[in-house]
């Protein structure tokens, strides 16, 4: 173990793509944590998806042993954090386990929306901040302009910002020296009762439930009986270790140190993130403040295209949730598209990541319903209910009012795109809070209803700014809105999977779009098919699929009858994939396609 004075715990915060994970890799390499041979690009991003998309989803931790220029050896605990807004809760957790942060800013792109969001989180928890300008090897790097921007927009002194290139290794030694000299060492008392923060927990196929901890006071050792303060459950420590970045068993974790324990905890949910771990025989007096639990804000239905895959989908979701307690799922049945699950996510990226993992790691072909937010319904009897699924909306007569979540969104954009960005926000019912310029970049802050953002806001924003805008948001509050449920009816029967909650002003446009889409997808039939979008009993859009006028086999003689009969048997088979609406049978596929097109 190290002296407290020789320990530094730090996070790296940055906007997505500003080179955070590459810097982490470079630091590990510099300190000899991995040999050249073992270095693969971005060692801390374990999942395929993380590596491919260049995003970090799970916070990772690694202990470095750094011999400083003064000859002393320091223990540096690095917590790599996700840069994406959906995983902001991971950032907060990591920050709580550290005393300082490295703020990484791309030397040509400058401050982006998530730079701000993440650095403010670090400032909020009183971190010392070391500013680093990355990607100095690029010809487009403009360190002076970016330094000025950091001072102006973020409000941090930047004249001593370290110019580095994580790619080439330039300035890495300076970063390490700054960590040692600029960040405060942790505080703690080795003799005091054990008090450790449960930073994260996950399931490892070989080691079982892993618990990542930051010790405040006392010591964690193998064989100790510990108590989880939130649940009161006790466990005996089987193993104490650190990541270097490979998991390595050590004797103990003392004050200020970060590492993992295995303690015979059965499921991840028994190791609550943010809980305080203490010694069962000599418990600490106060517990640590913990974290706000992360709650899903975006919901959608996930349905297997082949209904036979339903049990597999359930087991896949169970497996994924072992390591990601932030998403929720419960079984859902749709008359139109069969059996599936209603799933809750932290945001759209989180939703996409889970869907992609289900497809890649479990080989499941899925269809998802349009994403929806969580509404609050005040019923006429005074009760307030949360609504995750438009299909579950109570009758209008029982509703006093409907509230929707609003967000505070920060958008940074080159000023040439400011006009389109402002009209996009206005179109989406946004209310402007702030608009500032630094150089040629504008920062706008808007209040926006989240349901307008989950629809296709990201994509629109990206396309109108050619990918140059960045976006971050925080859930602000709930506000009563003029919201209506638009049902899509086929021959008078509602198609549950297609219903949606939208603002009254957009109801007609959105409803008509779906009717038109279905009109193209549903084959003509013996009876005409009426497609309607309706608010309650009031039809707001209508399309009709005319009846097929002739559907009869021209020739059928003695030699054709067996074939005709087999064709009928085949149709009977195919009927399993049909959904009956009044007198018409509609291929389930038409609804799948309608939902798929909604993705684009």
Binding site for another protein (CB under 8 A): 524-526, 548-559, 561-562, 564-565, 568, 571-572, 575, 583
418-427 and 450-464 helices, crossing angle to 10°: 160
Nearest approach, Cβ of residue 445 and another protein (Å): 53
The CB-of-525 to another protein minimum distance in angstroms stands at 7
Taking the C-alpha atoms of residue 91 and residue 96, their distance in angstroms, rounded to an integer, is: 9
d(CA 212, CA 259): 6
Which C-beta is closer to another protein: that of 328 or that of 525? 525
Cα(392)–Cα(152) distance, rounded to whole angstroms? 48
CB of 546 to another protein, least distance (A): 9
Q: Among residues 363 and 582, whose Cβ is nearest to another protein?
A: 582
Residue 568 CB, shortest distance to another protein, in Å, is 6
Of 466 and 524, CB closest to another protein: 524
Identify which of residues 466 and 564 has a Cβ nearer to another protein in the complex: 564
Per 3-state DSSP, what percentage of the chain is helix, strand, and coil (rounded to 5)? Answer: 30, 35, 35
CA dihedral (337, 341, 347, 353) positive or negative: negative
How many CB atoms lie under 10 A from the CB of residue 111?
24
Paired with 226 in beta bridges are 235, 279
**Minimum distance from residue 103 beta carbon to another protein (Å):** 58
3-state secondary structure 457-514: HHHHHHHHCCCCCEEEEEEEEEEECCEEEEEEEECCEECHHHCEEEEHHHHHHHHHHH
CA distance 312 to 330: 14
- Euclidean distance between CA atoms 246 and 348, whole angstroms: 32
- State how beta strands 239-243 and 258-262 pair: antiparallel
C-alpha distances (whole Å) from 484 to each of 363, 388, 406, 503, 536 are: 37, 14, 17, 6, 9
For residue 164, the minimal CB distance to another protein (Å) is: 58
- The residue (of 384 and 526) whose beta carbon lies closer to another protein is 526
Question: Over 356-395, what HEC string results?
Answer: HHHHHHHCCCEEECCCEECEEEEECCCCEEEECCHHHCCC
Closest to another protein by CB, 308 or 546: 546
Q: Dihedrals φ, ψ of 20, to 5°? A: -60, -50
| Residue 561 beta carbon to another protein: minimum distance, rounded to whole angstroms | 5
Q: Which is nearer to another protein, 331 or 548 (CB)?
A: 548
Minimum separation from the CB atom of position 590 to another protein (A):
17
Torsion (CA) 98, 99, 100, 101 in degrees, nearest 10 = 20
CA distances from 22 to 55, 331, 395, 521 (A): 11, 40, 53, 47
Q: Tell me the closest approach of the beta carbon of residue 578 to another protein, in angstroms.
A: 10
Give the H or E element holding residue 564: helix 561-574
Compare residues 394 and 574 and give the one whose CB is closer to another protein: 574
Nearer to another protein, 331 or 568 (CB): 568
Its sign, for the CA torsion 557, 562, 565, 567, is: negative
CA distances 426 to 69, 379, 449, Å, are 55, 30, 11
Nearest to another protein of 37, 550 (CB atom): 550
How far apart are CB 517 and another protein at their closest, in Å?
21
Of the candidates 221, 15, 287, the residue with the CA atom closest to the CA atom of residue 134: 15
Return the number of the residue (281 or 564) whose C-beta is nearest another protein. Answer: 564
- Whose Cβ is closer to another protein: residue 386's or residue 572's? 572
Q: How far is the CB of 527 from another protein (least distance, A)?
A: 8
- Cβ at position 577, least distance to another protein in Å: 13
Nearer residue to another protein within complex by CB, 281 or 524: 524
Calpha distance 557→537 (Å, rounded): 50
Sheet containing 225-228: order of strands? 234-236, 225-228, 276-279, 195-204, 208-217, 258-262, 239-243, 247-249
Distance of CA 543 to the CA centre of its chain: 37
Bridge partners (DSSP) listed for residue 97: none
Which residue in 62, 108, 105, 458 sits closest to 298, CA to CA?
Answer: 458
- Rounded Cα distance between 346 and 473, Å, is 12
Nearest distance from residue 551's CB to another protein, in Å? Answer: 5
Pick between residue 379 and residue 567 the one whose CB is nearest to another protein: 567
Measured from the CB atom, the residue of 516 and 526 that comes closer to another protein is 526
CB of 572 to another protein, least distance (A): 5
Min dist CB 512 to another protein, Å, is 25
């Amino acid at each position: 173990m190290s002296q407290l004075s020789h320990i530094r715990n730090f996070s790296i915060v940055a906007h997505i793509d500003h080179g955070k994970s590459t810097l982490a890799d470079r630091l590990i390499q510099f300190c000899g944590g991995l040999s050249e041979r073992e270095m693969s690009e971005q060692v801390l991003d374990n999942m395929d998806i993380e590596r491919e998309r260049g995003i970090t989803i799970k916070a990772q931790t690694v202990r470095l042993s750094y011999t400083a220029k003064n000859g002393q050896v320091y223990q540096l605990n690095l917590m790599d954090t996700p840069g994406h807004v959906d995983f902001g809760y991971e950032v907060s957790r990591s920050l709580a386990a550290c005393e300082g942060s490295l703020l990484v800013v791309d030397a040509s792109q400058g401050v982006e929306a998530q730079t701000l969001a993440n650095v403010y989180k670090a400032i909020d928890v009183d971190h010392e901040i070391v500013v680093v300008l990355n990607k100095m090897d690029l010809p487009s790097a403009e360190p002076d302009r970016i330094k000025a921007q950091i001072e102006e927009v973020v409000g941090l002194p930047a004249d001593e910002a370290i110019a580095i290139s994580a790619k080439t290794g330039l300035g890495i030694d300076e970063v390490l020296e700054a960590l040692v000299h600029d960040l405060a060492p942790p505080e703690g008392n080795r003799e005091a009762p054990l008090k450790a923060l449960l930073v994260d927990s996950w399931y490892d196929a070989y080691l079982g439930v892993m618990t990542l901890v930051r010790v405040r006071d006392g010591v964690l050792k193998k064989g100790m009986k510990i108590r989880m303060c939130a649940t009161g459950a006790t466990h005996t420590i089987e193993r104490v270790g650190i990541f270097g970045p490979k998991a390595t068993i050590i004797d103990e974790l003392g004050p200020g140190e970060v590492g993992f324990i295995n303690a015979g905890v059965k499921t991840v949910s028994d190791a609550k993130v943010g809980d305080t771990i203490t010694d069962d025989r000599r418990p600490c007096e106060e517990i640590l403040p913990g974290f706000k639990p992360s709650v899903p804000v975006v919901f959608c239905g996930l349905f297997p295209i082949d209904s036979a895959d339903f049990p597999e989908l359930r087991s896949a979701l169970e497996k994924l949730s072992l390591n990601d307690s932030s998403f929720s799922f419960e079984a859902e049945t749709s008359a139109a598209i069969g059996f599936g699950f209603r799933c809750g996510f932290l945001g759209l990226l989180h939703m996409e990541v889970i869907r992609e993992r289900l497809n890649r790691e479990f080989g499941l072909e899925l269809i998802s319903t349009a994403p929806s937010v969580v509404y609050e319904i005040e019923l006429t009897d005074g009760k307030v209910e949360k609504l995750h699924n438009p299909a579950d909306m109570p009758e209008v007569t029982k509703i006093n009012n409907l509230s929707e979540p609003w967000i505070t969104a920060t958008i940074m954009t080159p000023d040439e795109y400011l006009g389109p960005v402002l009209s996009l926000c206005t179109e989406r019912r946004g209310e402007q809070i702030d608009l500032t310029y630094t150089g040629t970049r504008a920062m706008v802050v808007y209040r926006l209803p989240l349901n307008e953002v989950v629809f296709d806001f990201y994509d629109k924003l990206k396309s109108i700014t050619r990918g140059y805008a960045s976006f971050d948001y925080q859930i602000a509050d709930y506000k009563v809105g003029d919201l209506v449920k638009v049902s899509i009816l086929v021959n008078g029967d509602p198609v549950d999977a297609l219903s949606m909650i939208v603002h009254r002003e957009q109801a007609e446009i959105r409803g008509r779009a779906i009717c038109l889409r279905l009109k193209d997808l549903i084959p003509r039939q013996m009876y005409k098919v009426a497609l309607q979008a309706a608010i309650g009993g009031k039809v707001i859009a209508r399309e009709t699929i005319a009846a097929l006028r002739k559907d009869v086999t021209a020739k059928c003689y003695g030699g054709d009858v067996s074939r005709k009969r087999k064709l009928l048997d085949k149709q009977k088979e195919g009927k399993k994939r049909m959904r009956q609406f009044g007198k018409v049978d509609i291929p389930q596929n038409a609804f799948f396609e309608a939902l798929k097109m909604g993705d684009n």
